[in-house]
Amino acid sequence: DVKVTQSSRYLVKRTGEKVFLECVQDMDHENMFWYRQDPGLGLRLIYFSYDVKMKEKGDIPEGYSVSREKKERFSLILESASTNQTSMYLCASGTPGTQGTGELFFGEGSRLTVL
Amino acid sequence: QQQVKQSPQSLIVQKGGISIINCAYENTAFDYFPWYQQFPGKGPALLIAIRPDVSEKKEGRFTISFNKSAKQFSLHIMDSQPGDSATYFCAASIADSNYQLIWGAGTKLIIKP
Protein backbone atom coordinates (compact mmCIF):
# COMPACT_ATOMS: atom_id res chain seq x y z
CA ASP A 1 0.00 0.00 0.00
CA VAL A 2 1.08 3.51 -0.76
CA LYS A 3 1.84 5.38 2.36
CA VAL A 4 2.11 9.11 2.83
CA THR A 5 3.17 9.94 6.35
CA GLN A 6 2.84 13.34 7.94
CA SER A 7 5.05 13.58 10.98
CA SER A 8 2.74 15.61 13.22
CA ARG A 9 -1.01 15.04 13.50
CA TYR A 10 -1.65 17.92 15.89
CA LEU A 11 0.44 21.01 16.57
CA VAL A 12 -0.16 24.10 18.69
CA LYS A 13 2.13 27.03 18.02
CA ARG A 14 2.31 30.69 19.00
CA THR A 15 2.10 33.62 16.63
CA GLY A 16 5.49 34.36 15.09
CA GLU A 17 6.93 30.89 15.62
CA LYS A 18 8.55 29.00 12.75
CA VAL A 19 6.67 25.81 11.93
CA PHE A 20 7.89 22.77 10.00
CA LEU A 21 5.46 20.20 8.63
CA GLU A 22 7.14 17.08 7.31
CA CYS A 23 5.79 14.63 4.76
CA VAL A 24 7.34 11.36 3.57
CA GLN A 25 6.06 9.02 0.87
CA ASP A 26 7.26 5.48 0.26
CA MET A 27 6.21 4.87 -3.35
CA ASP A 28 8.92 6.72 -5.26
CA HIS A 29 6.39 9.27 -6.58
CA GLU A 30 7.74 12.20 -8.57
CA ASN A 31 4.99 14.63 -7.60
CA MET A 32 4.28 15.92 -4.13
CA PHE A 33 1.81 18.53 -2.96
CA TRP A 34 0.81 20.55 0.09
CA TYR A 35 -2.84 21.49 0.47
CA ARG A 36 -4.72 23.43 3.06
CA GLN A 37 -8.25 22.28 4.01
CA ASP A 38 -10.74 24.65 5.59
CA PRO A 39 -14.50 24.04 6.04
CA GLY A 40 -16.50 25.28 3.07
CA LEU A 41 -13.37 26.07 1.05
CA GLY A 42 -12.37 22.60 -0.06
CA LEU A 43 -8.72 21.88 -0.74
CA ARG A 44 -6.47 24.76 -1.69
CA LEU A 45 -3.05 24.10 -3.19
CA ILE A 46 -0.17 25.81 -1.40
CA TYR A 47 2.90 24.44 -3.22
CA PHE A 48 3.80 21.45 -5.32
CA SER A 49 6.96 19.78 -6.54
CA TYR A 50 7.71 17.67 -9.61
CA ASP A 51 11.25 16.76 -8.71
CA VAL A 52 13.94 17.08 -6.10
CA LYS A 53 14.84 20.70 -5.38
CA MET A 54 12.03 21.82 -7.65
CA LYS A 55 8.98 23.73 -6.39
CA GLU A 56 6.06 25.59 -7.86
CA LYS A 57 3.61 27.95 -6.22
CA GLY A 58 0.02 26.88 -5.95
CA ASP A 59 -3.01 29.06 -5.37
CA ILE A 60 -2.18 30.32 -1.85
CA PRO A 61 1.62 30.34 -1.36
CA GLU A 62 1.81 33.56 0.67
CA GLY A 63 3.26 32.97 4.11
CA TYR A 64 4.58 29.51 3.22
CA SER A 65 7.71 27.98 1.76
CA VAL A 66 8.69 24.41 0.93
CA SER A 67 11.74 22.22 0.68
CA ARG A 68 12.35 19.04 -1.26
CA GLU A 69 15.90 17.84 -0.72
CA LYS A 70 15.07 14.16 -1.26
CA LYS A 71 12.53 12.58 -3.57
CA GLU A 72 10.53 11.01 -0.76
CA ARG A 73 10.37 14.04 1.52
CA PHE A 74 8.48 17.32 1.07
CA SER A 75 8.42 19.87 3.87
CA LEU A 76 6.13 22.82 4.39
CA ILE A 77 7.53 25.77 6.33
CA LEU A 78 5.68 28.61 7.97
CA GLU A 79 8.39 31.20 8.57
CA SER A 80 6.31 33.23 11.03
CA ALA A 81 3.04 31.58 11.94
CA SER A 82 -0.09 33.69 12.11
CA THR A 83 -3.53 32.93 13.49
CA ASN A 84 -5.04 32.85 9.99
CA GLN A 85 -2.82 29.86 9.24
CA THR A 86 -4.74 27.76 11.73
CA SER A 87 -5.95 24.94 9.51
CA MET A 88 -5.69 21.31 8.44
CA TYR A 89 -2.67 20.71 6.20
CA LEU A 90 -2.68 17.77 3.83
CA CYS A 91 0.31 16.34 1.98
CA ALA A 92 -0.22 14.28 -1.18
CA SER A 93 1.89 12.42 -3.69
CA GLY A 94 1.38 10.81 -7.07
CA THR A 95 2.98 9.81 -10.33
CA PRO A 96 2.47 11.71 -13.57
CA GLY A 97 -0.55 10.10 -15.09
CA THR A 98 -1.37 9.84 -18.74
CA GLN A 99 -2.22 13.33 -19.94
CA GLY A 100 -2.24 14.73 -16.43
CA THR A 101 -4.64 12.26 -14.89
CA GLY A 102 -3.88 9.87 -12.12
CA GLU A 103 -4.48 9.21 -8.49
CA LEU A 104 -3.31 11.39 -5.64
CA PHE A 105 -2.44 9.71 -2.34
CA PHE A 106 -2.95 11.80 0.78
CA GLY A 107 -1.53 11.70 4.26
CA GLU A 108 -3.84 11.85 7.27
CA GLY A 109 -3.28 15.54 7.76
CA SER A 110 -1.64 17.85 10.27
CA ARG A 111 -3.99 20.04 12.26
CA LEU A 112 -2.20 23.25 13.17
CA THR A 113 -3.51 25.72 15.72
CA VAL A 114 -1.76 29.08 15.98
CA LEU A 115 -2.50 31.01 19.17
CA GLN B 1 -13.67 30.06 -14.99
CA GLN B 2 -11.41 27.88 -12.91
CA GLN B 3 -14.03 27.14 -10.28
CA VAL B 4 -15.81 23.90 -9.59
CA LYS B 5 -19.07 24.50 -7.74
CA GLN B 6 -20.27 21.66 -5.54
CA SER B 7 -23.66 21.23 -3.90
CA PRO B 8 -25.10 20.62 -1.42
CA GLN B 9 -22.69 21.55 1.34
CA SER B 10 -24.24 18.89 3.56
CA LEU B 11 -26.65 16.04 2.99
CA ILE B 12 -28.56 13.65 5.24
CA VAL B 13 -29.92 10.46 3.68
CA GLN B 14 -31.70 7.50 5.20
CA LYS B 15 -30.00 4.13 5.03
CA GLY B 16 -30.90 2.44 1.76
CA GLY B 17 -31.64 5.70 -0.02
CA ILE B 18 -29.85 7.36 -2.93
CA SER B 19 -27.32 10.08 -2.19
CA ILE B 20 -26.74 12.61 -4.96
CA ILE B 21 -23.99 15.23 -5.01
CA ASN B 22 -23.68 17.67 -7.87
CA CYS B 23 -20.80 19.63 -9.37
CA ALA B 24 -20.68 22.25 -12.09
CA TYR B 25 -17.76 23.78 -13.96
CA GLU B 26 -17.17 26.55 -16.47
CA ASN B 27 -13.87 25.71 -18.13
CA THR B 28 -14.60 23.52 -21.16
CA ALA B 29 -10.94 22.51 -21.28
CA PHE B 30 -11.41 20.33 -18.18
CA ASP B 31 -11.30 16.70 -19.18
CA TYR B 32 -10.71 14.68 -16.03
CA PHE B 33 -13.27 14.58 -13.21
CA PRO B 34 -12.44 12.57 -10.09
CA TRP B 35 -14.36 12.18 -6.86
CA TYR B 36 -12.51 11.79 -3.57
CA GLN B 37 -13.92 10.43 -0.30
CA GLN B 38 -12.63 11.60 3.07
CA PHE B 39 -13.46 9.91 6.37
CA PRO B 40 -12.98 11.84 9.64
CA GLY B 41 -9.35 11.93 10.69
CA LYS B 42 -8.14 10.66 7.33
CA GLY B 43 -6.92 12.20 4.11
CA PRO B 44 -9.05 12.11 0.96
CA ALA B 45 -8.86 8.98 -1.19
CA LEU B 46 -9.82 8.54 -4.83
CA LEU B 47 -13.28 7.00 -5.11
CA ILE B 48 -14.09 7.10 -8.82
CA ALA B 49 -13.19 9.22 -11.84
CA ILE B 50 -14.54 9.92 -15.33
CA ARG B 51 -13.35 11.44 -18.57
CA PRO B 52 -15.82 13.32 -20.81
CA ASP B 53 -15.85 10.72 -23.57
CA VAL B 54 -18.42 8.74 -21.55
CA SER B 55 -21.66 9.90 -19.92
CA GLU B 56 -21.65 7.48 -17.02
CA LYS B 57 -19.25 5.35 -15.01
CA LYS B 58 -20.30 2.85 -12.39
CA GLU B 59 -18.26 1.12 -9.72
CA GLY B 60 -20.36 -0.93 -7.35
CA ARG B 61 -22.88 1.34 -5.65
CA PHE B 62 -21.11 4.50 -6.88
CA THR B 63 -21.94 6.10 -10.23
CA ILE B 64 -20.68 9.26 -11.88
CA SER B 65 -23.07 10.86 -14.35
CA PHE B 66 -21.54 13.38 -16.72
CA ASN B 67 -23.38 15.98 -18.81
CA LYS B 68 -20.90 17.67 -21.10
CA SER B 69 -23.34 20.13 -22.65
CA ALA B 70 -24.53 21.31 -19.23
CA LYS B 71 -20.99 21.24 -17.84
CA GLN B 72 -22.19 19.26 -14.86
CA PHE B 73 -21.29 15.95 -13.25
CA SER B 74 -22.74 14.19 -10.26
CA LEU B 75 -22.04 11.34 -7.87
CA HIS B 76 -24.84 8.91 -7.07
CA ILE B 77 -24.54 6.50 -4.18
CA MET B 78 -27.14 3.76 -4.41
CA ASP B 79 -28.39 1.87 -1.34
CA SER B 80 -26.50 4.33 0.90
CA GLN B 81 -25.01 2.80 4.04
CA PRO B 82 -23.87 4.35 7.34
CA GLY B 83 -20.32 3.46 6.31
CA ASP B 84 -20.66 5.87 3.38
CA SER B 85 -20.86 8.78 5.83
CA ALA B 86 -17.92 10.97 4.84
CA THR B 87 -17.01 14.18 3.09
CA TYR B 88 -16.99 13.95 -0.70
CA PHE B 89 -15.00 16.22 -2.99
CA CYS B 90 -15.41 16.58 -6.72
CA ALA B 91 -12.53 17.93 -8.76
CA ALA B 92 -11.53 18.72 -12.33
CA SER B 93 -8.34 19.15 -14.27
CA ILE B 94 -7.03 19.81 -17.74
CA ALA B 95 -5.21 16.98 -19.48
CA ASP B 96 -1.78 18.54 -19.48
CA SER B 97 -2.02 20.25 -16.08
CA ASN B 98 -0.16 17.45 -14.40
CA TYR B 99 -2.31 17.16 -11.31
CA GLN B 100 -3.38 20.75 -10.91
CA LEU B 101 -6.79 19.71 -9.76
CA ILE B 102 -9.47 22.30 -9.15
CA TRP B 103 -11.49 21.15 -6.16
CA GLY B 104 -15.11 21.60 -5.17
CA ALA B 105 -15.81 22.81 -1.63
CA GLY B 106 -16.91 19.38 -0.40
CA THR B 107 -20.16 17.75 0.74
CA LYS B 108 -20.56 16.28 4.19
CA LEU B 109 -22.77 13.21 3.80
CA ILE B 110 -24.49 11.59 6.78
CA ILE B 111 -26.36 8.33 6.32
CA LYS B 112 -28.92 7.78 9.08
CA PRO B 113 -29.43 4.17 10.18
Domain assignment present for residue A25? The answer is yes
Q: Tell me the mean pLDDT in the region A69-82.
A: 96
Task: Give yes or no for residue A110 having a pLDDT over 60.
Answer: yes
Q: How far apart are the first and last CA of chain B?
A: 39
> Residue B98: its pLDDT value, please?
53
> Residue A94: its pLDDT value, please?
85
Task: Give yes or no for residue A100 having a pLDDT over 90.
Answer: no
Task: Give yes or no for residue B83 having a pLDDT over 60.
Answer: yes
The CATH number that applies at residue B8 is 2.60.40.10
Domains: count for chain B: 1
Q: What is the pLDDT of residues A27-65, one digit of tens each?
A: 888 889 999 999 888 899 999 998 898 999 999 999 999
Q: Which of A45, A50, A109 sits opposite B43 (nearest CB)?
A: A109
> Residue B99: its pLDDT value, please?
61
Domain assignment present for residue A23? The answer is yes
Q: Which residues contact B48 (CB under 8 A, 6 or more apart)?
A: B34, B35, B57, B59, B62, B64, B75
Say what percent of chain B tops pLDDT 90. Answer: 81
> Residue B67: its pLDDT value, please?
94
Q: Minimal Cα–Cα distance from B92 to chain A, Å?
A: 10
Domain assignment present for residue A86? The answer is yes
Mutate to test the interface with A, among B27, B98, B100, B108 (most CBs of A within 10 A): B98
Tell me if B105 and A97 make a contact (CB, 8 A cut-off). no
Tell me if B32 and A100 make a contact (CB, 8 A cut-off). yes
Q: Residue A88 is part of which domain span?
A: 4-95+107-114
Task: Give yes or no for residue B96 having a pLDDT over 60.
Answer: no
Domain assignment present for residue A29? The answer is yes
Domain assignment present for residue A100? The answer is no
Domain assignment present for residue A102? The answer is no
Q: Which of B38, B92, B87, B39 is nearest to B64 (CA)?
A: B92
Q: Residue B52 is part of which domain span?
A: 4-95+103-112
Pairing of strands B86-94, A56-57: unpaired
For the CA atoms of A89, A35, A70, B46, the dihedral, rounded to the nearest 10 degrees, stands at 100
Domain assignment present for residue A64? The answer is yes
pLDDT band at A15 (very low <50, low <70, confident <90, very high): very high
Domains: count for chain A: 1
The CATH number that applies at residue A35 is 2.60.40.10
Domain assignment present for residue A47? The answer is yes
Tell me if A106 and B89 make a contact (CB, 8 A cut-off). no
d(CA B57, CA B66) in angstroms, rounded, equals: 9
